[in-house]
Chains A and B, each alone.
Chain A
Amino acid sequence: MADHIEQQLAPTPGERTAIFFKRTDVVRTSLLFIFWTAVFVVLGVVFYPKWMPLVMSTELKSAEAIMVWFTVISAPIAGLVLAITSNAFLNMHRGDTPPPDGPAVRTNGPVVAVWTITSLLFALVAIIWGLTEMNGQAVAAARDAKSAITVEVTGSQWLWTFNYPAQGIETHELNLPVGVPVVFDVKSADVNHSFWPVQLGVKVDANAQVTTVIHTTPTKIGAIDVKCAELCGLYHAYMETNGAVMSKDDFNAWVTAQGGHNA
């Protein structure tokens, strides 16, 4: 059927395109393409924001944006792959003997070229997007270094402790003032851990004898969960503690209550 049409190709490229898009399998594939693309767009746009915790920093915001937007950008590619696949599936041949042979297309230069270039562009988008975000975060960290408060984080099997050198307090809860940049200096008293204040969207491993550093600026008031994201033995699952981003006044009051002094 399809081959029959191919035999009487119309002379001009425009007419060939028109005929191509009138082929039933092409029409079906196009509809499936729209369907699958929409599915992926919805998956990305609706579900990720729904699942993710409260976004309390620009870092988490940018992680969420990557998850949502990369899904949207890849939706047409996924849509095309799934459209062709599901069209073939719907077109199946049942029975105990093989179907008749299909067209002997061994390759199609332009298709391979366009496909490769598209995936190259797609990879470039992902790379440039990532590098831009990383650069933005590095610039912000450098800019905010002076105004930042420092929290020294120590992971020990199976608890986190926090030292606020400027405030002179040590605690097992991570409280932070809103809008003030913070630098976490992270180390471990024993095996590897990974410091993960979930709602702040940053993470860095805690190692013995070396200090690793991450920066963020809490943008919203609310509770944060501090977890360990690196398997560290028996009670890794329970290596969690709570904390909060609070107004500056509340933070100062908390520091005072802990016996510290406000810088």
Chain B
Amino acid sequence: MGIKEGLLALLATEPMYGYQLKSELENATGNGVDLNIGQVYSTLQRMERDGLVEPGVEDEEGRVVYSITDQGRATLARWGDRPESLAQGRDELSIKVLLSIHTGALDPNRVIEVQRRETMGLLQHYVQLRSSSEDQDLAWQLHLDRLIYNAEAELRWLDRVEERLSTVALKATASAPTYEQQEVKR
């Protein structure tokens, strides 16, 4: 997500100051968006230039309230209607696993084993965090759910790779005469 869309969504509810926007965005996403205030202001300036928001008058503490424009609402609606593309699986882990299988330069089973330990540890950690989270902290819990599903998907994929590799290995040995077949021939 761009910070832009997050700010637009918040401003669509009511006009806000920069600091308010930063903390609201962090709350709303269960701290899923990591922000510094400088990024918020520079984004607001760009959005103002593009006609998505407009600043009000500065108050005596030097704070400026921003509000959303019609053009800003239209941009927000377009973002809402646009599907996000799924991660393409061309991440470091996939590449490592696929390369290890293709080249044989690394042992794929070892890669799988190491990754499984890591990800299972992380999954335990997420589950523990979710159990100890407060019921009212919905954004945080939903964020953890997402992390849990991602970790789960990765573990399932690792199992699948391992399973496929072992059937490939089995077929390779099956095409050579087995021990019993050799015994029978003798």
Bind each other: no
